[in-house]
Chains A and B, each alone.
Chain A
Amino acid sequence: MADLSVDLGKFQLKNPVMTASGTFGYGFEYNQYYDISRLGAVVVKGIRMTPSHGNPTPRVVEVTGGMLNAIGLQGPGVEKFLHDQHYMPFLRKTGAAVIVNIWGTTVAEYAEVASRLDAERQGITALEINISCPNVKAGGAAFGTDVRLASEVVSAVRKATTLPLITKLSPNVTKISDFARAAEDCGSDAVSLINTLSAMAIDIETRRPVLANKTGGFSGPAVKPVAVKMVYDTAKAVRIPVIGMGGIMNADDAIEFFLAGASAVAVGTANFVDPFTPLKVIEGINAYLDRHNFKSVRDIIGALEA
């Protein structure tokens, strides 16, 4: 049994496999299938100050090699998240490491959410700043595709909390490592990437976009090579840890991300295909390390021979 623990600078995880925000709800549903405290961390769906409806339906469509979604960050709002028994109180009881994904429609809202979570931080391992959702009109990717705005958000959140901060980056930019460096400069303790790729599907019979939101975010196995390259580029550009995700369906996929420089990985769309995927990825990483005589998963981070 290899050592699966990883060090993400300001915090440590018992294993390097987390869930990608938006693909795991708030942990409650999957805890009926397995003990979610077995995961490296549970990253919950995006939280803002107020409740939000999200987008009209259809919100998802399947495409070759993956899916598009335009959920639009439906959520309960920070107060319900902190106090309703199905959200944070439930997560505290499980003992899982919890990373809360946060968003807002203004810089001030991002900071306000961070501040509220900071005030009731028991059980919260870190915050993940979502500046990369492609499916909301205000906020999200509007901040994540402009280096100046991204810096403003990260700086404002940094001032609002002493919790470890992860900045989740958008792949819908010319050079993702510029954004990673900006996040690092503004006090982010880690970066996570990639969020979904901006995409569209058209119903040729009705001649309309399939998604009610017209466009959505592309995820699933087809995006993995894009994500691996972006993690590779980013890991070379920053000193803070990189959390890699995008199309991970099994342990082999995850190992590519470690070799490219990721210190941890997240499983997203694969949760919808097989709820047990994150556990299978943990087991598979361990088997790979044993097979190659590595004592620790840390031995393969950035270990690409090139």
Chain B
Amino acid sequence: MSTCGEILSNTNLKNDYFAVEFYAPETAASARAGQFVHVRIDDTRGDWILRRPFSICDTDPARGTVTVVYKVVGKGTAALSRLTPGHRCDVMGPLGNFFAPPDDAVPVAVCGGYGAAATFMLTRNPRKGLLLLGARSEADVILTEKYARAGFEVRVATNDGSEGVRGFVTGLIPPLLAERPHEKFCFCACGPHPMLMALAKLLRELGQEGQLSIDHRMCCGVGSCFACVVKVNDPSGPDGWRYARSCAEGPIFNLKDVYTGE
């Protein structure tokens, strides 16, 4: 569950997006779509101490490797992007639960930006599905070729219309349902919080099934610190909701549990 994972490759995909491949055979052997690793990136100056959680994008159990796709957003990810093959990082995982679309449904990944990394292993599903990807602009559209090679149909929406249709990713759903009215879908989502809340409301309106990867600023990664909590419906509680730890009880939450009130 915790190994000193040697970096085998760490390459720039596009702009601030990178893919790092760790040698972590135990993690690679059992990881499923939507699970994450908690990575300790060494710091010698004391600028940070905590681990960084990353969705597992892909694994190669035969080679014992785990691939993480990340965006440089702060000091930790900037440091990670500078690490070279041969460097070792402590990798905990796989952590959290996973996407589990029912066998009779077409899996549809609904993602915002590099949220597409979290759903990639859905392409191993015997039923080939679709990737609906939303991004601010073409500069943030990643992993679409990887999905296409894995047999998923890719549809893109960007805020500025620089790739795919102009608009939000949620706008891609009603046309899909109109095209394929007799199909059963399961929407598996990962992206920014506002996108996920909008998606949850839309899926409920449309009577569709959904599983959403929702988290918050994480700390321990295993359920002990209660930092990364998200609101979930809890009819037994006085307020109708409770805080669930996204690392230990999620990060995947069933649509029926997702709290969208205020």
Contact = CB atoms under 8 A, between A and B. Distances in A.
Interface in A11-29: 22-25, 28-29
Contacts of B216: 57-59
Contacts of A61: 217
B contact patch SS: loop
B225 A71 contact: yes
Interface string A272-284: 1111100000000
B225 A22 contact: yes
Contact of A33 (B1, B50, B217, B243): B1
Given A33-B2, A74-B243, A273 B49 contact: yes
B90 interface: yes
B133 to A, nearest CB: 26
Contacts, number: 93
A69 interface: yes
Given A62-B49, A275-B2, A71 B227 contact: yes
Nearest to B216: A57
B136 to A, nearest CB: 17
Size bracket, chain A contacts: 35 or more
A17 B90 CA distance: 24
Interface residues of B, number: 30
A130 interface: no
A58 B228 CA distance: 8
Interface in B188-235: 216-217, 219-230
A65 B46 contact: yes
Given A65-B49, A69-B219, A74-B243, A60 B224 contact: no
Interface string A21-54: 0111100111011000000000001000001011
A54 B226 contact: yes
A65 B225 CA distance: 18
B49 A221 contact: yes
A272 B50 contact: yes
Nearest to B238: A51
Interface string B22-65: 00000000000000000010000011111100000000000000
A62 B48 contact: yes
Contact of B229 (A59, A64, A269): A59
Contacts of B40: 273-274
B226 A74 contact: yes
A66 interface: yes
A25 B227 CA distance: 11
A262 interface: no
Contact of A67 (B49, B222, B230, B242): B49
Interface string B223-262: 1111111100000010100110000100000000000000
A274 B90 CA distance: 9
Interface of A: 22-25, 28-30, 32-33, 45, 51, 53-54, 57-62, 64-67, 69, 71, 74, 220-222, 269, 271-276
Given A57-B230, A71-B227, 4 more contacts: A23-B225, A45-B226, A272-B224, A273-B50
29 contacts: A23-B224, A23-B225, A29-B224, A30-B224, A32-B1, A32-B222, A59-B216, A59-B226, A59-B227, A59-B229, A60-B217, A61-B217, A62-B48, A66-B49, A67-B50, A69-B219, A69-B227, A71-B225, A74-B226, A74-B229, A220-B49, A222-B46, A269-B49, A271-B224, A272-B50, A273-B40, A273-B50, A275-B92, A276-B2
Interface of B: 1-2, 40, 46-51, 90, 92, 216-217, 219-230, 237, 239, 242-243, 248
The 4 closest A-B pairs by CB, nearest first: A25-B224, A60-B227, A29-B223, A272-B220
